[in-house]
């Protein structure tokens, strides 16, 4: 089993990394492989809605999104971490995730989200002192590990649900 962890912070070893690393420790204890990708300091443009990825299987902008697509499709779980800027994840992370989700065609792995801002406005590294926030990250990782293992056992015993062909709504009549 593998969990892909996305660090959307421009500060590679900042508070968001501290939260992700706390989860990574639990995944390691649970024998779940992890990889943390730091994308917050990369130059990633937004989706332009050209739909070329539906034809080619990859985004027309050949950057970290295309490099990550294979890892995303192979992972069993996904954790996305971001600092909160103006009540939202940072723009680089939003652009990355939008293009990644749109340009990949596998089923969505377990996506686990949790709002944790560490010590609001604190200097980088101060989140390591937030014992409640760190406990929240450990609990989230344990719950996610349980879910991934439960799904794996369910697939073994029952298989996966049958998918219906996609039916597109036509608003022009």
Task: Select the more confidently predicted residue: 116 or 74.
Answer: 74
Average pLDDT over residues 127-150: 90
- The pLDDT of residue 96 is 95
Residue 164 domain-assigned (yes or no): no
Residue 168 domain-assigned (yes or no): no
Average pLDDT over residues 109-123: 51
Which CATH number characterizes residue 56's domain? 3.40.50.360
Number of domains in the chain: 1
Whether the predicted pLDDT of 115 surpasses 50: no
- The pLDDT of residue 170 is 79
- The pLDDT of residue 173 is 63
Residue 165 domain-assigned (yes or no): no
Q: 10-26 pLDDT, tens per residue?
A: 999 998 999 999 999 99
Tally of CA atoms within 13 A in the half-sphere of 4 that contains its CB: 21
- The pLDDT of residue 129 is 82
Residue 166 domain-assigned (yes or no): no
Residue 171 domain-assigned (yes or no): no
The burial class, CB within 10 Å (0-12 / 13-18 / 19+), for 147 is: middle
In degrees to the nearest 10, what's the CA dihedral of 141, 121, 98, 64?
Answer: -80
Average pLDDT over residues 104-131: 61
The angle formed by the CA atoms of residues 73, 26 and 88, to the nearest 5 degrees, is 60
Task: Select the more confidently predicted residue: 79 or 129.
Answer: 79
- The pLDDT of residue 83 is 86
- The pLDDT of residue 99 is 94
Residue 172 domain-assigned (yes or no): no
Q: What is the pTM of this model?
A: 0.84
Spatial contact of 117 and 85, defined as CB atoms under 8 Å apart: no
Query: Could you tell me what percent of the chain has a pLDDT over 90?
Result: 61
Q: How confident is the model at residue 8 (pLDDT cuts 50, 70, 90)?
A: very high
Q: How confident is the model at residue 125 (pLDDT cuts 50, 70, 90)?
A: low
Residue 136 domain-assigned (yes or no): yes
Residue 128 domain-assigned (yes or no): yes
First to last CA, the chain: 46
Average pLDDT over residues 137-142: 93
Whether the predicted pLDDT of 122 surpasses 70: no
Q: Which domain holds residue 144?
A: 2-158
């Amino acid at each position: 089993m593998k969990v892909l962890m996305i660090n959307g912070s421009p500060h590679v070893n900042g508070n968001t990394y501290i939260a992700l690393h706390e989860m990574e420790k639990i995944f390691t204890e649970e024998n779940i492989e992890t990889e943390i990708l730091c994308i917050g300091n990369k130059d990633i443009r937004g989706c332009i809605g050209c739909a070329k990825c539906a034809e080619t299987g990859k985004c027309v902008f050949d950057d970290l999104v295309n490099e990550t697509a294979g890892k995303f499709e192979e992972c069993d779980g996904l954790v996305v971490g971001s600092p909160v800027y103006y009540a939202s994840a940072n723009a680089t992370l939003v652009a990355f995730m939008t293009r990644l989700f749109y340009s990949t065609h596998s089923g969505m792995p377990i996506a686990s989200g949790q709002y944790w801002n560490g010590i609001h406005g604190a200097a980088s590294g101060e989140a390591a002192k937030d014992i409640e926030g760190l406990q929240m990250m450990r609990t989230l990782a344990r719950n996610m590990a349980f879910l991934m293992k439960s799904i794996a056992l369910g697939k073994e015993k029952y298989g996966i649900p049958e998918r219906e062909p996609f039916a597109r709504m036509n608003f022009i009549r």
